Amino acid sequence: MSRNEIFQTRNLVRLALVAALYAALTLAIPGLSFGAIQFRFSEVLVLLCFYRKDYSIALIIGCFIANCFSPTAAVDMFVGTMATAIAVIPMFYIRNIWVASLLPVVSNGIIIALELLVCYGNEPPLWFNMLTIAAGELVVITIIGCPLFKLVFERNRRLMDIIGANKPNYPVKKAVIEKN
């Protein structure tokens, strides 16, 4: 991806929309987005980084904006955003979406649990926070997100064009059309 392509208006708008969508989805259900038990449905968007590396910028910015409204905002804006950055930046270079989906599970499971330990002490215990945060990430990204992208996006050339998927040598499957 060339520098000119990144700064094209269409691409900048796409990235801004993803950042805004991430923040909005996170803030829409704050009870599930922050704390020891998290089901951030916005996290499904991190799989966009598997298809196009510049989405990592949008998701890092979207995460930072959402974390500004966290109960632990002073720490979460930086630590939580760092956890997202660690997960999404290498995602494009992994060839299997199922493996790529585990990066945020591990990253957030460890880093966010440690963040909660610093902010709230050992109540609930660190192991519990690691387990619940990783489980929430696993459900949202791997169990819901991967099938969504494999069955919906990859089977539709138009949707792949909309998200600007440009992973090298990544074939888009043709949609199966049933005749009635």
**C-alpha separations of 79 from 21, 110, 115, 179 in Å:** 21, 11, 7, 52
Over pLDDT 70: what percentage of the chain? 89
Q: Look at residue 175 and tell me if it is in a domain.
A: no
Give me the number of domains the chain comprises: 1
Q: Which of 34-38, 41-45, 56-60, 84-88 has the lowest mean pLDDT?
A: 34-38
Contact 42, 33 (CB under 8 A): yes
Considering the entire predicted model, what is its pTM? 0.85
pLDDT in tens, 90-144: 999 999 999 999 999 999 999 999 999 998 887 889 999 999 999 999 999 999 9
Q: Look at residue 152 and tell me if it is in a domain.
A: yes
pLDDT in tens, 54-82: 999 999 999 999 999 999 899 999 999 99
Q: Look at residue 179 and tell me if it is in a domain.
A: no
Instruction: Identify the CATH number of the domain in which residue 48 sits.
Output: 1.10.1760
